[in-house]
Structure formats: C-alpha cells, structure tokens
Amino acid sequence: MKWAVVVFPGSNCDEDAAYGIRQATGDDVDLVWHQEASLDGYDAVVLPGGFSYGDYLRPGAIARFSPIMAAVQDAAKAGKLVLGICNGFQVLTEVGLLPGALLSNTHRQFRCEVVELTVINTTSPFTSAYTFGQKLRVPISHGDGRFYADSAVLNDLQEQDRVAFTYVDNPNGSLANIAGILNQEGNVLGLMPHPERAVAEWMTSTDGVGVFQSMHQFVTKQAPQPTVPGAAANEASQGGYVRAGQ
C-alpha cells in the first residue's frame, strides 16, 4: 500500500503524519507538494495538520484552491481513502468533501493537550480496528476546532452513523461533542485530534495507531495479491518531496 501526504505552504505535521503511518503500518509514504496535479498510484491520501497558508482568511480557505485539491476530490470520488487531520479536516470542509465547518473555539483559546475520545463508529475503513465505545487518548492542537453544522446536517450525521469520534470532555465547543466525521460514502474522514501523535510509547499513547491500521487493512484486503516480489521501496518515501505517481 502506498500513501500520499499532501504538503501545503504552512503545513507543520506532514513529517509527523508520514512517521505515524510508517510506524503503524510499515507502508510506503510520499510527501506530495500541493502544486502537483495527480495522485495516481496512491491508495490513500492524508491532508495533515498545520496552518496552510498561515490560516489567512480562515483555516483551509486558501488551500482548497491548490492544484492538488482537484486530484484529492477525484481520489475521493473514485473511492480511495482520504483522511484530513486538524487543518486537513478544515480543508475538507472548505472544499465540500465533508459537511459543516470548523469555527473558533468557544473559549477563544488555542488548545494543545491530550484529550479523551470515544469511538462511535467501528464499521468504517478508518475505525474497524477499534471497538464501539472504546476510549482513546489523542492530542489536539488547534484554535479553530469547533465543529458546527445546521440541524439538518447534524441529524444526518448522527442518523447515518457518520460521527466517527466524539470528545469525552469537549475542549472547543463542537456540536454534539463531535471530533471526527465521515462523508456519506464512508471513504473520507475528517478528524480534529492528531492520531499521528499517538503511535508510540514515548508519545505517551499508541491509541492513534488504529486509524492507520484500519485504513491499511481496508485497502490491502481489497487489493489483488502480487504474483511476484514487489520492488524495493522508493528512497524518496523516506524524506523529501516526490512527483505524484512516481
């Protein structure tokens, strides 16, 4: 399985995301610059946390116009897995791949701390490694993480089992304590906390591993089994940018 981690100007969790994926799955990961126009050859796409374009206008508002976002939309429409973490979640709502919006925290404070989440959905490609009601300890790092949607959208999310994670102790004022949601097809997840910062014992939690392992299992179970040994991993997957599809 091969992953693409999209890098926008201002992203600061791209290397963290790549590390978390490798730590959890052992898969190949490329950092793909936002000016690329194709994501061919990748099985999953991650929009990482950070402050794309310095959060000017509002978080994700400019990143949505980057050339790579057309390819992200195409990947989602083709059924590939797309994960948006923190700022990536904001970008997904801005581009319309997920409903609602991420607004300023109700207390107007930037929060960087470990929070407790409850797993609400265990049937999605992102959550199958967890059990229903399982409690996770995962860091947050945001000032604009308050999920908001109108009542109709909120009802749809809840009735269609598209709320993936909720906060135990709501840190930002999100409606219905929402921490992560799925699109209607179930192949796009927006998650405000950072699972890539909870993948090793030295991080004080490994509870984020399940997100990446769930995605890995979903893709590899669908993939045809190779008949010949695979080629060695591209050296570029260990650091630096590559042209998409290489």
Digit-by-digit pLDDT tens for the chain (246 residues) are 999 999 999 999 999 999 999 999 999 999 999 999 999 999 999 999 999 999 888 989 999 999 999 999 999 999 999 999 999 999 999 999 999 999 999 999 999 999 999 999 999 999 999 999 999 999 999 999 999 999 999 999 999 999 999 999 999 999 999 999 999 999 999 999 999 999 999 999 999 999 999 999 999 998 665 444 443 333 333 445 554 444
234/9 Cα distance (integer angstroms): 24
Is there a domain that residue 208 lies in?
yes
Asked, for residue 16, whether it belongs to a domain, the answer is: yes
Q: For residue 104, give the DSSP letter.
A: P
- Enumerate residues 6+ apart whose C-beta is below 8 A from 105: 111, 142, 143, 144, 145, 146, 171, 172, 173
Structurally, the chain folds into a number of domains equal to 1
Residues annotated as catalytic (active site), given as ranges:
86, 194, 196
Mapped onto helix, strand or coil, the DSSP state of residue 210 is: helix
DSSP label at residue 61: T
What are 55-89's pLDDT values in tens digits? 888 989 999 999 999 999 999 999 999 999 999 99
| Residue 245 in domain | no
Query: CATH number of the domain that 232 lies in?
Result: 3.40.50.880
pLDDT digits 0-9 by tens, 226-241: 444 443 333 333 445 5
Vertex 238: Cα angle to 216 and 45 (nearest 5): 40
Give domain status of residue 45, yes or no. yes
What's residue 57's pLDDT?
86
| pLDDT for position 67 | 97
Give pLDDT, residue 227.
45
Let me know if residue 244 belongs to a domain: no
| Residue 242 covered by a domain | no
243 is a domain residue: no
Model pLDDT, residue 174:
98
Q: Residue 229 is part of which domain span?
A: 2-236
In a domain, 72, yes or no: yes
